[in-house]
């Protein structure tokens, strides 16, 4: 059985939760006239948002699973991959903060 450090689990759960929040906020912002700047995800935004949410969350979950599995593997022959997961969580936190700021600006 493979064992992973608790910080990788916490970072993985945080990324998945923030991805869910990001998906919701993106759909709300799109309803208020925003545009999706990611060209890949822009394809899935059309319609009611279910396909967008499913694809986004599936891709995020797959990426998080890969990072957890590779948490102790060296990346760029120097750094282990685990901190990339923590950096991803911090980037998602910044993105969600930005989206909340945008939403407050749009609603006000």
pLDDT at 83: 83
pLDDT at 1: 52
**Low-confidence residues of the chain: pLDDT under 70:** 1-2, 76, 108
* CB 16, CB 61: distance < 8 Å: yes
pLDDT at 84: 83
In terms of Cα–Cα distance, which of 86, 91, 88, 93 is closest to 5? Answer: 86
The DSSP output letter for 47 is: S
């Amino acid at each position: 059985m493979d064992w992973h450090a608790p910080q990788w689990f916490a970072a993985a759960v945080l990324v998945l939760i923030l991805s869910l929040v990001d998906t919701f906020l993106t759909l709300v912002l799109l309803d208020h006239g925003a545009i999706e700047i990611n060209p890949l995800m822009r394809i899935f935004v059309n319609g009611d948002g279910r396909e967008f949410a499913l694809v986004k969350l599936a891709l995020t979950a797959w990426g998080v699973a890969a990072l957890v599995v590779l948490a102790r593997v060296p990346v760029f022959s120097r750094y282990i991959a685990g901190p990339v997961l923590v950096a991803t969580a911090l980037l998602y936190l910044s993105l969600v903060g930005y989206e909340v700021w945008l939403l407050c600006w749009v609603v006000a």
